[in-house]
Structure 1
Amino acid sequence: MENWTWEICIIGLALTAFTLINILSKSYKHQSDWLLCIWLVLLNIPLFHTTLSYLDHDAPRFNLVTNPTLNLLHGPILYLYVQTLVSNQKISFGKSELLHLIPFVVFYIAFISMDHSQPMRPTLDNPEHASSLFALLMARFGLINGLIFIAYSIATIFALRKHQKNISGIFSRNDNLISLKWLFALPATFAVLVILNFLNEGMLDSTAVIKPLTFHMLSFLSFTVLLCFFGVKQKPVFLFQPALTEVDIALKTAAANDGEIAVEAPDTSACDMSDEATAQLIEDMQEYMLREKPFLNADFSVYTLADAVNTPRRNLSQVLNNGLSKNFYQYVNEYRIEEVKRLLKDPALAKSTILDIAFRCGFKSKSSFNSLFKQHCEMTPSQYRKQLKQHSPVDTSHHTPPSS
C-alpha cells in the first residue's frame, strides 16, 4: 500500500494544476475563485512535499511552508468560501475576517520555534518538548485541529441551511449550483476520513490497511477532487441570472461592489399594500407569466419577475407569501408543471420522453421535477401520461394558470 503514495500525489497535483489553469483563464474572477485557488494550493502543499521527498530523500523539508499548522486554515477558508458564494455583495476581508487566522498564527509561531530535529508531532511525555506552552499546544495539535475544523464545519452548515431557506423565495430552481448541497460533502468527508484515520492508525503497523502517510495523502486528494469537480463550475449564487455572460457578471458584480446597485435589506414587516393593489399585482404577474412564459428559462428569478411587473422585489415576495401563500419557487414551478401537462397532451410530442418535456419547460433536475409533479398532481409523470392515453386527445392550445 505504501507505493500508492506516489501515485496519489501525482494525481492530486495534476488535477489541481489543470483546475487552477481553468479558473485563472476566466476573463473575470470572483472572490470565491481566488479563495478556491488558495485552498487548492494549500491542499497540495503536502502532496508536493511528499512527492519531492519521494524523488529525493535528502530534499529540504521547507518547514516554514510545509508544516502541519497550515491545516488550521482549511476551516476558515471553507467558511469564508461559502460566505463569498451566498453573499450578494463583496466581502470586505477586514479585521473581523482576519480574526479567523489567530489559531493558525499561534500554532505557526509554536511550530517554527521548536527544534525540527525532533518528531514533528511531539508528545506530552517527551520531557524535551513539554517545557513550554507552545510545546504543549503542539502536543495536542491533532485534537485541536480537528475541533477547530468541526467548529467551522458546524458554522458552515448553519450558513448553508440559512441560505437554502432563503433561495426558495428568490430562485425557481434548486440544483447544486444554487443550493450548494455539494459543500455539505466537505465536512462529511472530513468526519469520515478522521474516523477512518483513527481506526487505521490504531492498528499495529503490520496489520494497518493503509500506511499513515498514504492515508493522509489520500485524505488531501479526496478534498482536492471534490473542490476541483464542483468548485470549477461554481459561481456566486446571486449572479445566476438568465443569459448572463462572464462580462455581464463582471459588470453586475462591480456595480454592486461600488454601490451602484442597491442591495435590499431583508424586510420582515407585514405587506402594507392595499387589497386592491395586491390583487392588481397578482393579475399583472399572471398575465406576464402566461404571455411571456419566462418560467421556461431555468434561471428565471424573482428579480426578473419584479422588473417585469415594475415592483420592488420585497413587495412581490410579500404578495406571494401573504396573498398566495406560496414562495417564488412554488409559484414558478406550478406554471412549469401546468406547461408539462399541456405538452404531454400534445400528439406531436407523443414520442418525446417525459424528461425532455420537463427540461423544455424549465426544469433542470429529474428528481426535483418528479417530486414537484407528484406533489402537484398526486401521481407520477408516468402515471399521468398513461392516464392520458386512456382518454381522447384534447385541445392543447390553452394554458391553464395555476390556481391562486
Structure 2
Amino acid sequence: MDQLALLEGIAKISVFVSLLMAFFLLTVKTDNKLANRLFAFFFIFSAIDLSGFFTYIYNENHRNLEIFRSTFCLLGMPAFYLYVLSACYSDFKLQWKHLVHLLPFIITNLLFIPRIYLSIEDGSFIGPLNQMSEIYFIQILIEFQYVFYIVSVFLILRKYKEIYLENYANPSTSTYKWLFQMTCVFLSAHLFVVSKNVLRYIVLREIFLWANVLVGSIALFITCWFIMKALKHPELFRGINSKLKLTKDILPEADEKLGSENVQNDSIKNQITELKQYMTEKEPFLDPSLTIQELSNQINMPVRDLSILINHHIDQHFFDFVNEYRIQKAMHILKDQSKNQLTVLEILYEVGFNSKSSFNTSFKKYTNLTPTAYRNS
C-alpha cells in the first residue's frame, strides 16, 4: 500500500468517526443542548476539512468546489470557541453579535476566492491549486485565526477557573480539565499541521506524503479520544453563571461604600468570627455541591460581601476555604478509634468530597500526608 492509499484510508475513517460523533452530539439527551450542537458543528467542519485528503481525486475537474471546501476550515475554530463559552457558562446564548465569527469565511469567499472561481470557470488558469497567491493568503489567514482563538480560549479557561474557585466548593473541576486538555491537544496537533505545510515547499514529495499520513493518523486518534471521553463521562459539563464577577473586580466598588478604617476592621473581624463559627457548628461544607450563593443565603449575607470576605480578607478561594473544613473533619474521623472501621472512601463522602483523587490531593496539600498515612501515624 502506497502513501496515498494509506492516507485516503485513514482520512475516510476519520471523516466517518467525526460524523458519527457529530450525530451522537446532536441526538443525545442533555441539559446543555447548545454546547453539544456547537461541538457537533465543529466535528462536521473538521470532517469537511479532512475529506480533502481523498476528495481531491473527484474534484480535479471541479477545482472551484475543492477551493470552497477548503475554506470550511475557517469555521472550525469559531465553532470550538463558542463551544468552550457554552460549556463554561450555563447561561450562554447565541446572539446576533456572534455572527462576526463568520466574517473570515464570508470575506474569503466573497472578496478573494471569486477571482479564482472565475479564472477556473473560463479556463484562464492552468496549474496546481497550491501555486495560487490566494491560497497563500488563506493559509496565512488560517494561522492568524488559529492563534487568535487559541489565546482567547486559554483566557476564557483561566477566568472560568478563577470564578469557579471563588464561588464553588465542589472539588470536581472536570469541565476545566476537559477543555484545557482538549485545547492543548488541538494546539499540539496544529503544530504538526504547520510543520507539514512547511515541508510542502522544502522537501521531497514522498516525505510530504508521509507527513500527511502522520497528520491524518493524529486527527483519527484525537477524534477517537473524544468519543471515549463522551462515552466515559456523559455528564461532563458543569457551567457557571457568566454574571459572576471576580473579587478583584468588585473590591474597589465595595471599598468605596465602607466607612472609616477602624470601623471597617472591627466589622470584618466580627464577620470572619461569625462565619467560622457557623462553619464549625452547622457544617454546611458537608454538602458536596455547596456554592457561595447557597452559603450566603444560609448566613444571610450578600453574596458579593461574602465573596470579598473569604477571597480577600481571609485570603482563600471559596474552594480552599470550604475544603479546609472538610479536611479537618476527615482528620478528626481518621483519628477517632470508634470509627476505625470506616474506609477512606466512606470518610471522603461523609465530609463532602465526591472524588477520591480530589480528596487525596486536598488532604496531602493540607497535611503533607496521605489519609492512610495520617491514620497510621
Alignment match of 1:307 (pick from 297, 305, 321): 297
- Aligned mates of 1:293, 1:119 — CA distance in 2: 77
SS at match of 1:153: helix
- Aligned mates of 2:22, 2:148 — CA distance in 1: 27
SS at match of 2:178: helix
Aligned to 1:226: 226
Matches within 5 A, 1:327-338: 327-338=317-328
Contact 1:32 1:84 in 2 (8 A): yes
Contact 2:113 2:134 in 1 (8 A): no
- Aligned mates of 1:211, 1:119 — CA distance in 2: 27
Aligned length: 350
TM-score by length of 1: 0.71
- Aligned mates of 2:27, 2:54 — CA distance in 1: 21
Alignment pair present for 1:42 and 2:45: yes
Aligned to 2:177: 181
Matches within 5 A, 1:149-298: 149-178=146-175, 180-199=176-195, 202=199, 204-207=204-207, 210=210, 212=212, 215-216=215-216, 218-219=218-219, 222=222, 225-226=225-226, 229=229, 233-235=235-237, 237-238=239-240, 266-269=249-252, 270=254, 272=258, 274-275=264-265, 277-298=267-288
Q: Which residue identity does 2:289 align to in structure 1? A: D
Alignment pair present for 1:102 and 2:92: no
Cα shift at 1:16: 3.0
Cα shift at 1:309: 0.8
Q: Is there any run of 5+ residues in structure 1 with no aligned partner, and where?
A: 130-135, 240-255, 257-261, 388-404
- Aligned mates of 2:220, 2:144 — CA distance in 1: 18
Contact 1:12 1:47 in 2 (8 A): no
Contact 1:171 1:328 in 2 (8 A): yes
- Aligned mates of 2:163, 2:346 — CA distance in 1: 29
Contact 1:84 1:91 in 2 (8 A): yes
Q: Which residue identity does 1:342 align to in structure 2? A: H
Alignment pair present for 1:143 and 2:133: no
Cα shift at 1:38: 2.5
- Aligned mates of 1:119, 1:338 — CA distance in 2: 76
Contact 2:77 2:149 in 1 (8 A): yes
Gap change, CA 1:308 and 1:108, over 3 Å in 2: same
Aligned to 1:7: 13
**After the TM superposition, which of the residue ranges 306-315 and 214-223 deviates more from structure 2?**
214-223
- Aligned mates of 2:38, 2:287 — CA distance in 1: 30
Gap change, CA 1:151 and 1:280, over 3 Å in 2: same
Identity of aligned residues (%): 21
Q: Which residue identity does 1:38 align to in structure 2? A: F
Contact 2:170 2:288 in 1 (8 A): yes
Matches within 5 A, 1:379-394: 379-387=369-377
Alignment pair present for 1:79 and 2:81: yes
Cα shift at 1:197: 3.5
Aligned to 1:396: none
- Aligned mates of 2:358, 2:170 — CA distance in 1: 9
TM-score by length of 2: 0.75
Contact 1:306 1:313 in 2 (8 A): yes
Identify the structure with the greater helix proportion.
2
- The Cα RMSD (Å) is 3.9
Aligned to 1:114: 116
Cα shift at 1:58: 10
- Aligned mates of 2:56, 2:205 — CA distance in 1: 21
Deviations 1:352-382 (A, max 9, x none): 4434422432224444433332332243323
Contact 2:150 2:187 in 1 (8 A): no
- Aligned mates of 1:264, 1:194 — CA distance in 2: 33
- Aligned mates of 2:266, 2:24 — CA distance in 1: 58
